[in-house]
Structure 1
Amino acid sequence: MKHKKSELLLWEAIGIPFLIMVGLTLEFAYKTLNQNFVIGLFSVVNNSMWENLKVGFFPIILFSLVENLSLKESADNFFTAKALEVIFMSILLSISYLLFKYNLINSLIINHNILFVVICTLSQILSFRVLTINKNYSYLNLLSFLFLIICTLIFFAFTINPPSNWLFEASRRLNNILKF
């Protein structure tokens, strides 16, 4: 059974404010909640490029769990849509991180938040477009599901034991920008 485009559009539209609110919450949750280990697995522990990808990844995963239960897996290519959304959002978040790190964007906190809102919106639009493709790619959907599980495990592993690499090192400039 296929869902109507209007129902899928509604779910993806509901996802936009959810991603924004949860993502912005995860940005500060670790420090706000006294550096709780479990919270640190899902939220930004430092302002490294890698850690900032969590603000996009985990809200998508959380919303996808709720959305998938509601759609009862009848939306074709659901996990493919979500995997592509994760990849797309990660690329855009990485670009925005680098733009801030190298002073290519004004350092006001509002610009960072507005950029995050735009990224969440564009990511949900991409997800909707993939969800409404008329062909069902079941093998790709299965691979996408496995990709999302592996990414989750990698985020946990690299949060607990980050490699010594520039990708995992905090930017001092971003630390200063993101403070209130």
Structure 2
Amino acid sequence: MSKKVFLWEFVGLIGVVILWYILHISYKNTGIMSLTLFSAVNESIWEHVKIAFFSLFALYVVEAFFISRYCKNFWYGKMIGLLAVIITSLLIFYALSGVNLPFYVVDIIAGIAGFIVAQIISYRVLISEVNHSQYERVYISMVILLIIPFFVFTFYPIKTDLFKDISANAYGIFFK
């Protein structure tokens, strides 16, 4: 069964990168307000982490229908994966921001590295013999709690560099 799980995690990685790109441009190209919850509304670091999170979250929802019954630690592994993409993306972004690379290159490296780390960690948890399934509702609740700040800060960003679109010298949604 671990081969099936590995295949989902590996192929899912490709799908996540494609969805990440789509979420990056969807609001900007359409102006559809409902997309702001999941898509980037500006070029801030926060918005790039948001689209990485939701790209991975979308994969995990699909995986829930196909492989969760084979993995006793499914939601635990996915919660850890979502935390890993957030932390890894931010750490790599800030580590590389001192290097003389264009913003978009740093962003792409940080995002893809975040996805890879998240998928590796998630896979290791999914195939683990240690059973964490007794707390499944807690893990699902924690995933939901991770979503809330992304929704809130899309409309009410904190005035710090994490939320600032440097290219536009602005925060939050730029209404059309």
* Other-structure match for 2:75: 79
Give the alignment's Cα RMSD to 1 decimal. Answer: 2.4
Give 1:167 shift.
Answer: 2.5
- Whether the 8 Å contact between 2:44 and 2:162 is mirrored in structure 1 is yes
Could you tell me the percent identity over the aligned residues? 24
Are positions 1:171 and 2:140 aligned together?
no
Q: Give structure 1 stretches of 5+ with no counterpart.
A: 176-180
Alpha-carbon distance change, 47 to 109 in structure 1, aligned in 2, over 3 angstroms:
closer
- Whether the 8 Å contact between 2:88 and 2:110 is mirrored in structure 1 is no
Are positions 1:106 and 2:101 aligned together?
yes
* Other-structure match for 2:154: 159
Alpha-carbon distance change, 129 to 44 in structure 1, aligned in 2, over 3 angstroms:
same
- Which of 141, 144, 152 is the equivalent residue of 2:139? 144
* Other-structure match for 1:178: none
User: In the alignment, residue 118 of structure 2 is paired with which amino acid?
Assistant: S
* Other-structure match for 2:12: 15
- Which of 63, 66, 74 is the equivalent residue of 1:67? 63
Alpha-carbon distance change, 26 to 105 in structure 1, aligned in 2, over 3 angstroms:
farther
Does the residue aligned with 2:69 lie in a helix, a strand or coil?
Answer: coil
Q: TM-score normalized by structure 1?
A: 0.82
- Whether the 8 Å contact between 1:92 and 1:119 is mirrored in structure 2 is yes
* Other-structure match for 1:40: 36
Give 1:154 shift.
Answer: 2.2
Q: Give structure 2 stretches of 5+ with no counterpart.
A: 171-176
Structure-to-structure mapping, 1:44-63, within 5 angstroms = 44-63=40-59
Number of matched residues? 170
User: In the alignment, residue 64 of structure 2 is paired with which amino acid?
Assistant: N
Deviates more, 1:88-97 or 1:163-172: 163-172
- Whether the 8 Å contact between 1:83 and 1:145 is mirrored in structure 2 is yes
CA distance in 2, matches of 1:136, 1:32: 44
Does the residue aligned with 2:94 lie in a helix, a strand or coil?
Answer: helix
- Whether the 8 Å contact between 1:29 and 1:39 is mirrored in structure 2 is yes
- Whether the 8 Å contact between 2:52 and 2:85 is mirrored in structure 1 is yes
Are positions 1:132 and 2:133 aligned together?
no
- Whether the 8 Å contact between 1:48 and 1:169 is mirrored in structure 2 is yes
Are positions 1:123 and 2:127 aligned together?
no
Alpha-carbon distance change, 37 to 105 in structure 1, aligned in 2, over 3 angstroms:
same
Q: TM-score normalized by structure 2?
A: 0.84
